[in-house]
Chains A and B, each alone.
Chain A
């Protein structure tokens, strides 16, 4: 199998082509540095993303407070995590850094507040 990627390791944005099968990555081409190679491999094997969104608050200044995952989560689980976060309501006051959902969906990442409310 073959996939075309745009590298985000630096602003250059190299067009990388990765060949892979069930056993893993066979080749990486188009990258101009080692970081590009590493990026491409992780994108195929286990792509992860940071998630930032908001969660409903009761009794705060604003009706929602921003949250993020404190480490990247598997890309494939982003919408499941959104669903889990959107089903939660927290009570004010919320403190920056407060854990809202620990170990969300078993990903090992906590959902933490990134502002006060």
Chain B
């Protein structure tokens, strides 16, 4: 059995930032366990640019953004094991992992940072009838085929879901010579960034059909076409609006799900909206010494925010290990008010002496609205927002002095006022 102060599960942007921050805070023995063959996580296949605008003030590609952190990790004495899969985390932070070289690894950790990322929602979760032809895949799988393996996964493409990966793949496939016929979005708005709709669809004349979904796939061998249809307010297909579109590929970009199987096995509480762990302001779960950050906690749209969040988790883990965390804990839950789908963190230790930033997403599009932070019935801040969209993560700060005045009976609410 090995002993480490900190085991970081996942070597993507979240895991690397957490490990680096913990090192900076003085944690000695740190190991990153990564299931892929290299560090970098999903960024390795995200070869488009647009990463790092907030954090580095530069427009980097995914591999470039990852490389900034890989270089930093290499400069430290943080141990890294790639091609290594964590199978289990016990209640006493004993981590079981497996790889080709070491076989079974048992690592006793003082603290653990969960940074496993997320997976794409597959077809089975959708109400889509039809055949099992080849050519139906998630946008992320297609992205790997094109960008890492160098193969075209399709030539005539329909994309379901206008999340950012779907939009990015529409452009990528077009650049490599495929014909992207249409992007369908079941919601009345796109879940992707405006920039991506303009630069990935509009630039290439690819139509975006809102309130439209794919209801059936056709073809017995390779996909030959799909039937799309408009949907009503309850997202149910409207009879008579069906339309057949010939295509050999259907790419799905219909949502991301945090990969919390390990988390659930430990018995950590999960937020039913984010599908990630319930955490405090340092991203500590309800299981002492286990922290979570990045897309395993809640799905982010910008990696820059993943980095910032993971640094908090790294710092939190360091304080836990080094015994420098606030001695006293008084938790106050954060409450989602009108228009707010979720809040991270879900609870705040009011004995924490710093400002606390709450991240949130709205449930629908708001125009000319205000984001209101209310603590103990008093409006702390009320910020005007010209536009709020579910696809863009927002934040609001609770100042340290407001927290200092709170106790266990206090309340924290974020809501949207129209």
Contact = CB atoms under 8 A, between A and B. Distances in A.
A82 B195 CA distance: 21
Interface centre among B67, B149, B194, B392 (most CB of A within 10 A): B194
A53 to B, nearest CB: 6
Interface residues of A, number: 28
Contact of B176 (A53, A75, A114, A116): A53
Contacts of A6: 194, 197-198, 202
B387 A12 contact: yes
Nearest to A8: B195
Contacts of A82: 175-176
Contacts of A5: 198
Interface in A12-29: 12-13
A79 B203 CA distance: 12
B379 interface: no
A11 B175 contact: no
A105 interface: no
A8 B198 contact: yes
B368 to A, nearest CB: 11
B194 A64 contact: no
B49 A52 contact: yes
A78 B175 contact: yes
B355 to A, nearest CB: 23
Nearest to A72: B59
A96 interface: yes
Interface residues of B, number: 30
Interface string A42-62: 000000011111101000001
A114 B386 contact: no
A66 B387 contact: no
A12 B195 CA distance: 10
B64 A115 contact: yes
B210 interface: no
B61 to A, nearest CB: 4
Contacts of B193: 11
A68 B60 CA distance: 9
Contacts of A11: 193-195, 387, 389, 392
Interface centre among A12, A63, A66, A96 (most CB of B within 10 A): A66
Interface in B47-76: 47-49, 59-61, 63-64, 67
A62 B150 contact: yes
B149 A66 contact: no
A98 interface: no
Contacts of B61: 52, 66, 68, 114-115
Contacts of B198: 5-6, 8, 13
A75 B200 CA distance: 12
B403 to A, nearest CB: 29
B90 interface: no
A62 B64 CA distance: 17
A103 interface: no
Contact of A53 (B175, B387, B389, B392): B175
B280 interface: no
A7 to B, nearest CB: 8
Nearest to B146: A54
A107 interface: no
Interface of B: 44, 47-49, 59-61, 63-64, 67, 146-150, 172, 175-176, 193-195, 197-199, 202-203, 386-387, 389, 392
6 contacts: A8-B198, A53-B176, A66-B63, A79-B175, A115-B67, A116-B67
Nearest first, the 9 A-B pairs at minimum CB distance are: A115-B63, A66-B47, A13-B194, A114-B61, A63-B150, A64-B150, A8-B195, A52-B48, A114-B64
Given A8-B195, A54-B47, A54-B146, 9 more contacts: A8-B198, A13-B194, A50-B59, A51-B175, A68-B49, A78-B175, A82-B175, A82-B176, A115-B61
